[in-house]
Chain A
Amino acid sequence: MSAIIILICVSLTVAVIFLIAFIWSVSSGQYADKYTPSVRMLFDENETPEDLKKDKSLPKNIKKL
């Protein structure tokens, strides 16, 4: 019997991890534009803009502003 309880705990934990990933993806705006990223990924990435995250002078939560 306890095996089932352990299994349920494990499965719920895994499920909750995915739920958290989902919540994060929604709140970081990944559902706002469902088309452009599909095009963007096909461009060559030889040169990218200065990485916003590395530039410490910029506020961290710039995407959410």
Chain B
Amino acid sequence: MPKVKEKNIAEKCYHCGEDCKNSGITSEEKSFCCEGCKAVYEILKGNDLCSYYTDYNKDEKYPTKLSVIKFENKFEYLNDTDIQKKLLDFKDNKISKVTFIIPSIHCSSCIWLLEKLFKLNSGIKSSVVDFPKKSITIIFDHSAISLKDVVVLISSIGYEPLISPEKNDDQIKRDEFKNKDLTLKIGIAGFCLGNIMLLSFPEYLSNGGEIDSQLKNIFNYLNILLSLPVFFYSASDYFISAWKAVKKNYINIDFPISLGLIALFVRSLYEIILFNNSGYIDSLAGLIFLLLIGKLFQSKTYQTLNFERDYKSYFPVSVTVLKNGNEISIPVAKLETGERILIRNGEIIPADSILFNGNANIDYSFVTGESMPEQKVMGEIIYAGGRHFGSAIELEVIKTVSQSYLTQLWNNDAFKKTQKSNIQNLTDKVSKYFTVIILAIAFGSGLFWIREDINKAIDAFTTVLIIACPCAFALTTPFAFGYTLRIFGRNKFYLKKGSVIEDMSNINTVVFDKTGTITDSGNISVKFFGSKLSHTELCLVKTLVRNSSHPLSRKIFESISSEDCSDDLEVTNFDESISDGISGIVSGIPVKVGNIKYLLKDLDCSYYESGHEFIKKPFSTNVFISINNFIKGYYSFRNIYRAGIDKAADELSEDYELAVITGDNNSEMNNLIKIFGSRAKLLFNQKPQDKLNYVKEIQSVSGKVLMIGDGLNDAGALKQSEVGISVSENITNFLPSCDAIIDADEISKIGKFIRFSKTTINIIRASFVISFVYNIIGLYLAAQGIFSPLVAAILMPFNSISIIVIIFLLTNFFAKRRGLA
């Protein structure tokens, strides 16, 4: 049942826009629906923050949705103890703690308002906002306020949280722990390094022997003491990683690093304790500190972006089931076939079902990228994933959630792999040979001396290991990736992690999705076909469509300029038939706008002929016009291709195979050929599973695929490809799981990004060569016997730092030259 529209605006809540239902709650002549809204208003008013309302109402991101969605019903499922258990971080007999992601947090007044929740309800003990993460942590007294009421409260003030039953909490906590851990390790390494350098300073200047030997001893032992936390705590990750790799029978870069570090430490202990020489403690601490800085540099992540979402984080947590006339809220996972469900305005269809009652108006933009809603009538099948707009509908479930057309994609093997094929990265590949060579040299020189002097043998052996410690080498990749990540980030291209750069440099095929990826879903061209409409006729149409809120009506309305029509005409007998069209009598002339069936319904057969030629056209995106019972023609809606996509395709086609894969029909074939050239493969009418299979097919003939898509229907293909890139107009929106996110406006730069990733890999290769040269120089010095603690203290940090500087200069130089800076 469509709701009767309230004419009197004064009766809507000033804060949330909801009907006041004569609540009688007023403040300064403004009415409110509830005490909560009034309280928020008063808080805002009392702090001169009423501009909140003007901003708030203008902002189209939060339209009147608030007034329509009934939060009370929507969050009914939060009373379920199972769901509560999953959501709550902590609960004891008095208080509960919960953390939500709230995408609409966007300014400092959001923080202010959300941290004043305790004023709205005394049950809330505290609320703390984490702005970069867009999250809020609420501690509340669950005997005073239920979890559901907390959520309803924050939703009603405009901050609806994103609730997903499958919180990958563990992942988040692990990342948080890792970050904390790394910060601590760097802090401690930095602290110890500073003090060790201070204590080693006399040694640097002394040329040996001049300083008091007692003092020197004290300094040396203090150095050992300070190096213990660095060696055993800060550097522990390298030893653990190397050991894990060895257990799995392969050698990673951490192995030669660990060898070098252990050699440095043991040799230093040996020198200090046995010979009262100063060891290499300063070099050891310096190297570990630099290595950790490299790690920190690479670990930069985009906190607000989520690369790991699957359909579950997007689908509703619960659904209203109709049983014996009662509405019961159950978790979607428990939904069974044959059950009758109720979908309200703005809710998502959780499973494939048949429309049983009402008129559905389904927006599949998250699934396909198509922004125009589809209309369905009773008896039609509605696939899961669409969002319904309009009055509530009843559906009968025909497939369970996990077996639905779209969601079964996630049962595919591509999603079961936790990691993409374990390709060894460049560093590990090189370090394997490197390790073998330095071990050979170390043992060789050790064996060479062992017959003469055991001490000399140990000296030679450890010196080689120390000199060959590939620290500069290990820093190359993190810094090159780190700089490139930042350069891409500045260009609104966000990578999940650095290794994606390497994957990207190896691809040879680029696959595009069409709708929403290369077409601009927000920008639709409206074109009229048929006999040209006169000014008066345009006016009639414009006046009629003004009365409808259907998106297509809005588009027609916008397309008729005020130059064509400025008169104000009167409409009588207005009628809107949902999913068919609208009709009315404008200045005495009957006008109809809608699909062909609707127009032909009451038409004379004699007029049928004139409309005949249009009938053959698919009418999903064509809206027909009849004036005075005569069909004039139709408006056609077409997505516009994103600016610069043709240039990007042109650039790419030189070096890469291109393909476009779409779920749509081939009506756009000629345009696509124009953009992508005749060599590109074009595939139409592809199901989500087909897209995935196509990617697999290319991979089976040694293709490396970069896939660019945007909707849930691309999720499988994105996951299967070597590099999956999601296109987004608003990065906080839903995105399928992917390796990278690109801002929709920057998609024309995709060719540049791919090329730059190749440049980065070349920079890394060049830096490898430089660091090898350093190692050879070091070995030469060692062979000459001029390897002293002082030389080590200068040479080793110099290697690392110079490599960092070289990479910084090179990446920025090339970024500028490529127009990416």
Contacts and interface: CB of A to CB of B under 8 A. Distances in A.
Contacts of B131: 33, 35-36, 39
Contact of B125 (A22, A26, A40, A55): A55
A32 B212 CA distance: 46
Interface string B577-596: 00000000000000000000
A19 B126 contact: no
B130 interface: yes
Given A36-B111, A36-B131, A26 B183 contact: yes
A43 B92 CA distance: 31
A15 interface: yes
A61 B199 CA distance: 39
A65 B184 CA distance: 20
B118 A49 contact: yes
A50 to B, nearest CB: 6
A61 to B, nearest CB: 10
B754 interface: no
A34 B132 CA distance: 8
Contacts of B132: 33-36
Contact of B94 (A4, A42, A58): A58
Given A31-B183, A36-B129, A47 B119 contact: yes
A26 to B, nearest CB: 5
Contact of B130 (A4, A22, A32): A32
Contacts of A1: 212, 214-215
Given A36-B132, A49-B125, A65 B183 contact: no
A52 interface: yes
A40 B111 contact: yes
Contacts of B187: 19, 22-23, 26
B607 interface: no
B119 A26 contact: no
B126 A52 contact: yes
A12 interface: yes
A12 B195 contact: yes
Given A19-B187, A32-B180, A49 B97 contact: no
Given A8-B222, A12-B195, A39 B183 contact: no
B183 A50 contact: no
A50 B129 contact: no
Contacts of B126: 49-50, 52
Nearest to A29: B180
With most chain A CB atoms within 10 A of its CB, the pick from B108, B194, B212 is B108
A18 B191 CA distance: 9
B180 A33 contact: no
A15 B180 contact: no
Given A33-B130, A39-B108, A43-B112, A62 B184 contact: no
Contacts of A18: 191
A26 B191 contact: no
Interface in B118-140: 118-119, 124-127, 129-133, 139
Contacts of B191: 15, 18-19, 22
A23 B215 contact: no
A37 to B, nearest CB: 9
Nearest to B226: A12
A5 B218 contact: yes
A52 B97 CA distance: 13
A50 B343 CA distance: 41
B95 interface: yes
Contact of B133 (A31, A33, A57): A33
A1 B215 CA distance: 8
Given A1-B214, A39-B108, A40-B115, A65 B222 contact: no
Contacts of B199: 8
Contacts of B188: 19, 23
Interface of B: 47, 89-90, 92, 94-95, 97, 108, 111-112, 115, 118-119, 124-127, 129-133, 139, 176, 179-180, 183-184, 187-188, 191, 194-195, 199, 212, 214-215, 218, 222
17 contacts: A8-B199, A8-B222, A18-B191, A23-B187, A31-B180, A33-B133, A34-B132, A35-B131, A35-B132, A36-B111, A36-B131, A39-B108, A40-B111, A42-B108, A49-B124, A50-B125, A52-B126
8 tightest Cβ-Cβ pairs between the two chains A and B: A49-B118, A65-B90, A36-B131, A39-B108, A33-B130, A49-B126, A35-B131, A19-B191
